[in-house]
Structure 1
Amino acid sequence: MKEFNINSLVRENIVKLQPYISFRDHNEFNAPVLLDANECPFGEFNRYPDSSQKKLKNKLAGLKGLSPEQIAIGNGSDELIDLIIKIFCEPKKDAILMMNPSFAMYGFYAAVNENEVVKLDLDDNFEMVKDDFIKITQKRDIKVFFLCSPNNPTGNSVKDLEFFIQNFDGIVVIDEAYIEFSENRSGIEVLDQYPNVIVLQTFSKAWGTAGARVGTAYASKEIIRFINTVKAPYNVNALSQELIISLLDDKNKLKDNVAKVLNEREWLKEEFKSIDCIEKVFPTDTNFFLIKMKDGTKVYQTMLDEEILTSQRAPAIQNCIRINVGTREENEKLINILKTVK
């Protein structure tokens, strides 16, 4: 196992920062009369949510084979991305590395924190070139590397993931927002080997609860402690916590969602073969397709005119549109419209 002194990677002021801890977070505390937080005594959701999300973490710990101390809960994965950059990257000094193309929010939050964004261009098959990666990391002092696998917007998974972990001396963030749709193993399985790795997952995709805004981070206890130090005290509301806990009790929910999506994904894949305006459908491990059109602008506008909203990827990826899997009714409408584009 590679040795890392996590404290040496964390910003000095964050190492010294004392977290805001509600008295109610103490495990031994349990009182029926709560007069400490200036809440209204009336109302169905009049109390602040559990700031440490104990029940949710305990359930996830059992499912993931980790301890609750290795789990942080965020207001979506976006909040966790923001916090990771704030914890490890000194403004105007440190840099992050991200794949190009990849999820835009890595660069966005780095820019907000005044950190340089270094981009590793993917090849024609949207894969990382190992030699390019080594050259960049040897030439530049980079603090955090965001690895999106499966990748958004390209849909493919990172090959030889451990090579990139082993050859990076900072924090490696593996964003697994779409992992449930993939047959690849999760980065959670290598956390014990690599103390510098953080794995992000979300309930927004396969679980079907994007509106609840709940994301998770899995890492060493040391890293999670820093995330919990920096996060807002009540960052995940009570309604969302209760919803996710109830979902985790339903053992068939995730399985059913994924099965339906994969079935529709295969149906769409076959239908795309007969569409004239499509030039190439890229392989996908997700709930979406990246598709190269003969005329991307024309196809995108045609679908807009028919009230179908997709994600145009030009100019970053010329003539490409990202289309996620819908219901059969939605997918049939999509195919029927695409067939009209010449």
Structure 2
Amino acid sequence: MSFNLQSLIRSNIQSLVPYSSARDEFHGEAKIFLDANENSIGSPLTKWYNRYPDPHQKQIKEKLAAIKGVPASQIFIGNGSDECIDILYRAFCNPGKDNVIICPPTYGMYEVSANINDVEVRKARLLDHFQLDLVHMETLVDEHTKIIWLCSPNNPTGNSLNREDIEMVLNNFDGLVVIDEAYINFSRQRSFIPELKEYPNLVILQTLSKAWGLAGLRLGMAFASEAIIEVYNKVKPPYNISQAVQELVIKALDNVQDVNAMIQIIVEERKRLEQELPSLPCVVKVYPSDSNSLLVKTVDAKAIYQYLLTQQIVVRDRSKVELCEGCLRITVGTVRENDELLNALRSFIV
């Protein structure tokens, strides 16, 4: 492999002079801020919110660095993982020229964001056991392939991809390899974050929406080399994470023990559902999961989905997704919610 980051970056991004906010130009301590055309008096909420937030979320990155074991300089904070995904397209993929590879069934935003940015999507469909088809993937790569997207644990299948297969891609592809680890906290597999030292082409995505329970705050994370993070910071909007979100996230990051306790409960409930669902007449198969959800093959996914709606229970119908025919994706709920789900499915007439 011969990885050259500069050759991957779009030429207009290489020459881009990023927007310089007032807070980018100021360094140090001050009592009076008259630099950013803010309302100096205050706001209807609190005086604090009349000021622009830290454009680089330094406090959040320092706390994440301690938790994740990676330097703060190798962390990018996005408005959800979707912003982390979109910036990679805008920075590295030339519209109408370059292509990326996805491995369906997988997270839909890789393809949606590609389409928005006019980037060709090539599909290396997973094998029947939801693992990478490396042979097919290799045939799709050409000189215009900029990114390979891997989701592990995968969504919607819930399984982790074989680590050796991911390493094979990392060692043999000259472009960016993005591993989306949104569900890694629920997995028996370890994160690829420690491997950043070995792979300059590696980008890892994580989120606070799942295990941390902060989906409403919209905060995603990208971990990569300092050079790739510099590209992220060059392209991102100047104040992409609001002050209120930063405050709440900083508070949440001080409660790792609470998060670990929630993860343990969710994993135990996942195991309970894995054990009880297969005994139901309407369930054909429950696929192994390293996620906070289960892919469940049923006798009639559409009918069961509609029936559950009448019981005021919402799951995800994935039956039209390739390799997921007849399947529902069921998020692991609370003990009470899971009890209600099981009772409802027991009452479904096959």
**Same fold (TM > 0.5):** yes
Matches within 5 A, 1:46-195: 46-137=50-141, 141-159=144-162, 160=164, 161-195=166-200
* Distance in 1 between residues matched to 2:169 and 2:304, nearest whole Å: 37
Residues 182 and 207 in structure 2, CA contact (< 8 A), matched pair in contact too: yes
Deviations 1:237-295, CA, capped at 9 Å, x for gaps: 11111111112112312211101111111111121122110001001000000011011
* Distance in 1 between residues matched to 2:83 and 2:23, nearest whole Å: 23
* Distance in 1 between residues matched to 2:220 and 2:89, nearest whole Å: 16
Partner of 1:72, secondary structure, is strand
**Structure 2: unaligned runs, 5 residues or longer:** none
1:3 CA displacement: 4.4
Residues 3 and 201 in structure 2, CA contact (< 8 A), matched pair in contact too: yes
1:28 CA displacement: 2.9
Partner of 2:56, secondary structure, is coil
User: Which residue number corresponds to residue 311 of structure 2?
Assistant: 306
2:327 is equivalent to residue 323 of structure 1:
no
Residues 97 and 144 in structure 2, CA contact (< 8 A), matched pair in contact too: no
Residues 100 and 120 in structure 2, CA contact (< 8 A), matched pair in contact too: yes
Deviations 1:302-336, CA, capped at 9 Å, x for gaps: 11111111111121121111000001111111101
1:298 CA displacement: 1.0
Q: So what's the TM-score if we normalise by structure 2?
A: 0.94
Q: Relative to 1, partners in 2 of residues 1:145 and 1:95: Cα closer, same or farther, differing over 3 Å?
A: same
Residues 96 and 118 in structure 2, CA contact (< 8 A), matched pair in contact too: yes
Residues 207 and 253 in structure 1, CA contact (< 8 A), matched pair in contact too: no
Deviations 1:104-150, CA, capped at 9 Å, x for gaps: 0000000000001111111111111222222222x573111110000
* Distance in 1 between residues matched to 2:69 and 2:339, nearest whole Å: 40
One-letter identity of the residue aligned with 2:137: F
Number of aligned pairs? 340
* Distance in 1 between residues matched to 2:262 and 2:244, nearest whole Å: 21
2:30 is equivalent to residue 22 of structure 1:
no
Deviations 1:15-73, CA, capped at 9 Å, x for gaps: 11112232323573322111222222213111111101111111112222222211100
One-letter identity of the residue aligned with 1:37: A
Percent identical: 45
1:85 CA displacement: 0.8
User: Which residue number corresponds to residue 280 of structure 2?
Assistant: 275
Partner of 2:132, secondary structure, is coil
* Distance in 2 between residues matched to 1:183 and 1:314, nearest whole Å: 27
Q: Which stretches of structure 1, 4 residues or longer, exceed 4 Å deviation after superposition?
A: none
Residues 208 and 257 in structure 1, CA contact (< 8 A), matched pair in contact too: no
Matches within 5 A, 1:209-224: 209-224=214-229
Q: So what's the TM-score if we normalise by structure 1?
A: 0.96
One-letter identity of the residue aligned with 2:42: F
Partner of 1:339, secondary structure, is helix
